[in-house]
Structure formats: structure tokens, C-alpha cells
Amino acid sequence: MFSLGSWYGAHMAGPRGEYRKSAERRAQILEAAFTVFAKNGYTASSVNEIARAVGITQTGVLHHFAGGKIALLRAVLEQRDARAAGILEPRRGRDFLAGLVEISAAQASQRGVVQLYRNLSAEAVDPDHPAHEYFHARLHRIADAVTSAFEEVRAAGGLREDVDPRDAALRTLAMTEGLELLWLNGFEVDMAADIRAFIDGHLVDPL
């Protein structure tokens, strides 16, 4: 996983000093918010704790994220999703499914990310949770994208005859989520290998 600092550095070469400093501070705050949310979940986290982690005041945080804790949550989630979308969006069919395996492989070294999504998505099943709509829409969007990939594989003659693309997509998603849970609980599971084997069970030729 590349660091936030280097990402901003690469894309914002030569901004004026004040602007660059502000972007760096914003990146620091987001990284701290990510760490605090991943540890405590959303409900039990506070802007104050995030501010302390950066070594600034609460007002300093609100200068960058005027919407407070919800704005921080949204920014953290959008940042993570943009990275996954960057891997998956240009891909179709088998190539997309292989991308899911790559993301699983990368997550094995990102325990905090997996923990954050698990914590927040569990809280967010409550319709009153500020991220309820976000997680709900996200899961359905992923399910639709995986369904399309299986449909593309079928159109190319690569899907086993008895497999329905939608069923295959939902089961792949369920298996991915379940394996993450076991992995977070200390089971010896190789998420990427297991997801690959599971997807292969639906294909004429393995990935």
C-alpha cells in the first residue's frame, strides 16, 4: 500500500507552500481518522481523538473537514473505494474476477482496512447509522459489478453450464466477506487462494 504522503506528492508537484502544507495536513488527518475508526468503529470514535493522533486541536481538524466526524468517515471510505475502483473499473469478465483475487491478496497485508469495513458495515446495518445508505449501496454496487463480470464470462463461453451469473456473484461476495471474518479472528485462511478456488469452481477454465 502506497503512503498518502507519496500519493499527494506525486500528483501535486510544485503547488505553493501554503497549499501543499494544507494538503499534507489533510492527508495526515485522513490517515489518523482511518486508524481511529478501524480500531474503535465509528460510533465510539471522536474528532477529538483523531485530532490528538495528528497532534493538532479539534478546531484544526474541523478547518479541513467542516462536516466533522461524518465528513471524515465519508472521506476515508471514498479514498479506499477509489483505490479498489482503480483496480477493477477498466476490467471485464475473467480479468475483473482476477482483480477480485488481487484485491484479496492485497488485503492480507491491510488488516486495519478489513477491520474498518467490518466494524463500520456491521454498525451501519442500522438504518439510523450515518453510513447506512453508503454501505448498502456499496454492497449492491459490488454485487452488480461481479454479476456483470460473470455474465461477460458466460457470453464468452467461459461459464459452466449450470451456473447462474447472479447466484455466482452473490456466493462469491458472501465467501469473500466470510473469509475476511475468519481471517480477522485468527484462522489460518489464505483469502486470495480460497477466493480464486471458489471462483474457479464456476468457470470452464481456471483463472
Residues forming the site for a second copy (CB under 8 A): 39-41, 43-44, 115, 118-119, 121-123, 125-126, 135-136, 139-140, 143, 170-171, 173-179, 181-182, 184-187, 189, 194, 198
Judged by CB, which is closer to a second copy: 6, or 43? 43
Q: For residue 72, give the nearest of 40, 38, 103, 34 by alpha carbon.
A: 34
Judged by CB, which is closer to a second copy: 56, or 108? 108
Question: Helix, strand, coil % (nearest 5) of the chain?
Answer: 70, 0, 25
Least Cβ distance, residue 17 to a second copy (angstroms): 40
Q: How far apart are CA 53 and CA 32, in angstroms?
A: 6
Least Cβ distance, residue 160 to a second copy (angstroms): 13
Least Cβ distance, residue 182 to a second copy (angstroms): 6
Judged by CB, which is closer to a second copy: 106, or 189? 189
Judged by CB, which is closer to a second copy: 78, or 177? 177
